[in-house]
Structure 1
């Protein structure tokens, strides 16, 4: 069918033309793409404030399941009103592809900080950052939302404050889940998923300060040689030991300076 032949680059031009026809905004640049969407930086012509336009990728525009997931992301962001989550300001469609315009978070992702800037995080600093993240996750769960994609590209640092972006895999928190039936913790629709990702996030922070002593790769427990309280905390996040029953309990269980 004809709609399958629209390339991503052609669609970028369609989006740019769409913005040009709306005098309130000006097109700045293409930001990137994920599994479901493409993101563009735009500017409010009056306030000069920057926003992100996120649009469903054209190859998905006739896939009902993908469209539903994209619209679910819009719904989730619309119902959240939290300072560390981008707010939605406008929704619509471009060539049958749904889109939304949201706040632009002008910060650095932890992927950029670690792998581009070479930032190093001590154990104390890593735990402090994880504490702030768990505080935010606890609030998300209290609002009935599980993010399910808390990777280092989706967590930004803005003037020492964390911001969470990309709710494309987020879903409604399901309280009545038997943990023993969960096969993939990344996809769990409860706290298990977010805490599992937090565990890997914390490992990235801790490894930023690690210098390998030999070429042979070992388990993180051997390489990092963490205080036992920190190792136990990580293993509970990562489902190696008994998992935490909630994000709040995980937050309350973060090792203190006396334990490090």
Structure 2
């Protein structure tokens, strides 16, 4: 979760906009690009901290590269520096789906289903599927924030990905939830061959969550 935007300037007087500061990174808009910097954590042993930030920076860059080759709408990767722990990527100019999904919940639910189906077809787990991480640009859904993403062929990982989406939609868009969810499921099934297997495991994941809450 990121904090409110603010503006700063660097030594060269180029305007920076801080898009967000999270637990792991600072995200800045510099010109028409976005720079994501993974910051050091004082509570971690230095060698461990460096290795973690380096591996996560490399992994996110690999995910962005794969998304582009797979034809999945996401920010274009310009550069990755695993010494500075930074990723430079395209700034996606559009509206957060969170703010407009109520205008056409069935349509947007269908777009989410198609996009997640493409992710899972290419064995990419987003791991933070919320409507705040979905931008609508020219009526196209563009996914952002792949900081937690990873590659996996496991049905369990894909089911958990959907479970997290379910929770996000239910809590944030309760009024339109059923319309969005039904549309998502229909689209996901239509566009992903292994959807039935994943959705069966999703039901098990949901049940585990309910049992924990009892």
Normalised by the size of structure 1, how large is the TM-score?
A: 0.57
**Among 35, 42, 46, the residue aligned to 2:30:** 42
**Structure 1 unaligned spans of 5+:** 1-11, 44-49, 114-118, 180-189, 210-223, 235-242, 251-260
Counterpart residue number, 1:121? 102
- Which whole-Å CA distance do the structure 1 matches of 2:127 and 2:84 have between them? 24
How far has the Cα of 1:133 moved from its partner?
1.1
Answering whether residue 55 of structure 2 is matched by residue 77 of structure 1, we say no
Structure in which a larger fraction of residues adopt helix:
2
| 8 Å CA contact 1:39, 1:54 repeated in 2 | yes
| 8 Å CA contact 2:57, 2:87 repeated in 1 | no
Runs of 4+ in 1 over 6 A off after TM superposition: none
How far has the Cα of 1:83 moved from its partner?
5.0
Answering whether residue 197 of structure 2 is matched by residue 245 of structure 1, we say yes
Q: Render the CA deviation track for 1:164-199: whole Å, top value 9, x for unaligned.
A: 111111111223x5x5xxxxxxxxxx2212211332
Using a 3 Å threshold, how does the CA distance of structure 1 residues 30 and 120 change in structure 2: closer, same or farther? closer
**Among 27, 31, 35, the residue aligned to 2:19:** 31
- Which whole-Å CA distance do the structure 1 matches of 2:175 and 2:94 have between them? 19
How far has the Cα of 1:35 moved from its partner?
2.2
- Which whole-Å CA distance do the structure 1 matches of 2:146 and 2:165 have between them? 15
How far has the Cα of 1:34 moved from its partner?
1.9
Could you say which structure has the larger radius of gyration?
1
| 8 Å CA contact 1:130, 1:202 repeated in 2 | no
**Structure 2 unaligned spans of 5+:** 1-6, 187-194, 203-214
Answering whether residue 45 of structure 2 is matched by residue 56 of structure 1, we say no
Answering whether residue 200 of structure 2 is matched by residue 200 of structure 1, we say no
Counterpart residue number, 1:166? 145
